[in-house]
Chain A
């Protein structure tokens, strides 16, 4: 695969050819149904129209608001002023912004990259050859955590972590431990692992289904340890899935507002991750212009994350044995 391959080159290692990277590009993009560009454009149009209207347009407007001192009430609502890049420079100088960014990175790395992806892969790996009730039970429970509404979930976790009569304190015999106060970040990280592991689990389960068992068998007979099998046989084949997975769960976690329902950003501001920070600015303080500017900064950070994943995984691919 040429090094200049476009970003999605790593996304589809399961193309028509089984050997990763062996298939020539035209085959992968082959227009098998004879769609042709005009019809392809027609297929894409409804989605793009909706996205343009209800996503791109409001997003551009938000970016524009980030250049003003707009507020929903008060004098700045009647007569908003253009402030240029002031909001951005103010934000970058603001301690609470960098504090919040630090927490968000901890949250993303801890709960998404390590937690959800790790646990999700582990479950998929352990369950890969299982069929039957146990696997169905595990999957059903993990998925329940994923699809329940967050306002309900918040009550569940408050009941779990309560200081006086919390279920966790009863289970661990640690009466009086105020988890959300004494270990606030750890609590919301574990919470988000619970909440979001399902997606990674499903994705990796599918990815592992695409690893030919014969290859694993060969490696095993050749004396490869479990770890070596993973590294040499499994990993190269599911690299595209890993990229998709990490990219999506990182973005989702970065923009996840649910911790607010558990901690309101507290105690003090110890769990004030970026979406909570923006919520407080925009809704509680009414500083919509400033909030919008921070949203844009958040977008740029998300962009950096995406680029990092793509370059990281592409380089790994070159290193890996073909």
Chain B
């Protein structure tokens, strides 16, 4: 049985109230044939993702309006900035979309695609923009990165940027511990050995491998998932989720080796500000090895504008590929692994001007526009041609682009993923707290079966 629709409720309420507060709502259609388009992103000038916000306001909007005016189209583009937690941004966006309103173009985290598509808020490009395949930009976006914008085999938008995960290490500490400063471990044992050596230094936490729910998605992305990939497994394959598998137990086993063996700081994983503090400690030469994405390099230890700046970043911070448990044991038989995420720009299925919105979307993803967006702080974009230009001056980002992206894998854009991710975080927390890996894996499997609807959807 269906339920009362939102509108039925609202109309009942409004009639019952007959309240005199009818402020004038603005229609998306402006006066005199001007078409209005709105872009939304979790970015705001002077705050979170400020570069993206400034770029949209100062570059995209004037340039697009001008280009359209030359074509004789009168269009007014507005930007709706926000600067909040991603979950809150997602909830508010969903509220807008379920009411049939919302922006024409929006930035989504790749892992939200499934939920938004299932709810009908976004539609495959083949429906909204029938000639989407003729866009010349697709040639520049690698097949793997395009998967960021795909759900159930359909493309829902254009991927915007991506990232990769590595092991950062502090060369100062490595030198003090008698370790090589051009370090590249080839197995988990190598990491543990380096941790043991670092353990001899006073006041130094050898390894920071994110664990627990306080770190949130950072535990999944920088912790358990790359480890799982290092055992040759993925979190979901062929529509089935990975449960208490051998790989899962082995990955949790590394947590036990690190946190049970005194190589990590268990309390830091539980603190609400644990991740912030781990960054600060790394910058203060108190943490030896830390698994993170390139975000760490760009926005955390960046001497110019990082939250935990390191004046000597370029000399003191090393980075190495994350090794598989044993050489060749990683997914697809790889020696090294990584995980990647990224954001996608999509069209609102309820937009009144889908054609023009698609024009704006491709305009925003043109080589010229993407280059302008990363002019000040280089970032890995979805476009190979742009990456080749803008990353050249940054050895770290070039490393990610050339060494990491070819071996990386993405999370499933499934609507159940956020809950599975929480279960994984809880499993790591249990191990850090002293549970055995097999016990934690078993509990995880129980929770997983409940979330995904039975044991048939779980492989172990």
Contact = CB atoms under 8 A, between A and B. Distances in A.
Partners in one complex: yes
Interface of A: 49, 52-53, 57, 61, 64, 68, 70, 72-75, 77-82, 158, 163-164, 178, 180-181, 262-264, 266-268, 283-286
Nearest to B214: A266
Interface string B269-285: 01111000100000000
A178 B213 contact: no
Contacts of B213: 264, 266, 268
Interface stretch (B86-94, B170-178, B194-202, B248-256): B86-94
Contact of A72 (B3, B91, B214): B91
21 contacts: A49-B17, A49-B19, A52-B17, A53-B13, A64-B9, A72-B95, A73-B90, A73-B94, A74-B114, A74-B119, A77-B118, A77-B121, A78-B118, A78-B119, A82-B3, A158-B272, A158-B273, A178-B267, A283-B87, A284-B87, A286-B91
B118 A57 contact: no
Contact of B19 (A53, A70, A78, A264): A53
A158 B271 CA distance: 10
A264 B214 contact: yes
Interface stretch (B67-75, B325-333, B415-423): B415-423
Interface in B250-306: 267, 270-273, 277
A199 to B, nearest CB: 27
B442 interface: no
Given A73-B115, A180-B272, A286-B115, A268 B429 contact: yes
Given A49-B19, A180-B272, A266-B272, A74 B3 contact: no
A284 B91 CA distance: 9
Nearest to A284: B87
B120 interface: yes
B444 interface: no
Interface residues of B, number: 40
Contact of A80 (B3, B91, B94, B271): B3
Contacts, number: 99
A42 B435 CA distance: 65
Interface in B107-134: 112, 114-116, 118-121
Nearest to A282: B91
B33 interface: no
A80 B433 CA distance: 39
Interface in B46-97: 87-88, 90-91, 94-95
A283 B91 contact: yes
B1 interface: yes
B88 A283 contact: yes
B2 interface: yes
Interface of B: 1-4, 9, 13, 16-17, 19, 87-88, 90-91, 94-95, 98, 112, 114-116, 118-121, 212-214, 267, 270-273, 277, 415, 418-419, 422, 426, 429, 433
Given A49-B17, A164-B277, A268-B426, 15 more contacts: A72-B94, A72-B95, A73-B121, A75-B415, A77-B118, A158-B273, A163-B271, A181-B270, A181-B271, A266-B214, A268-B429, A283-B87, A284-B87, A285-B418, A286-B418
Contacts of B429: 268
Contacts of B120: 77-78
**How would you classify the secondary structure of chain B's contact residues: helix, strand, loop or mixed?**
helix
A178 B121 CA distance: 44
B16 A74 contact: no
A75 B273 CA distance: 34
A49 B16 CA distance: 11
Contacts of A74: 114-115, 118-119, 415
Contacts of B112: 73
A160 to B, nearest CB: 13
A257 to B, nearest CB: 13
Contacts of B87: 283-284
A64 B13 CA distance: 13
A178 B273 CA distance: 12
A73 B2 contact: no
Nearest to B120: A78
A70 B95 CA distance: 13
B272 A75 contact: no
B270 A267 contact: yes
B16 to A, nearest CB: 7
Given A78-B120, A181-B271, A284-B87, A72 B98 contact: yes
A73 B118 CA distance: 7
Contacts of A77: 94, 98, 115, 118-121
A75 B112 CA distance: 13
A64 B4 CA distance: 10
B277 to A, nearest CB: 8
A82 B277 CA distance: 45
Nearest to B269: A267
A68 B95 contact: no
Nearest to B116: A73
A78 B272 CA distance: 35
A49 B88 CA distance: 31
Most buried by A among B1, B90, B270, B422: B270
Given A78-B118, A78-B120, A263 B3 contact: no
Contacts of A263: 272
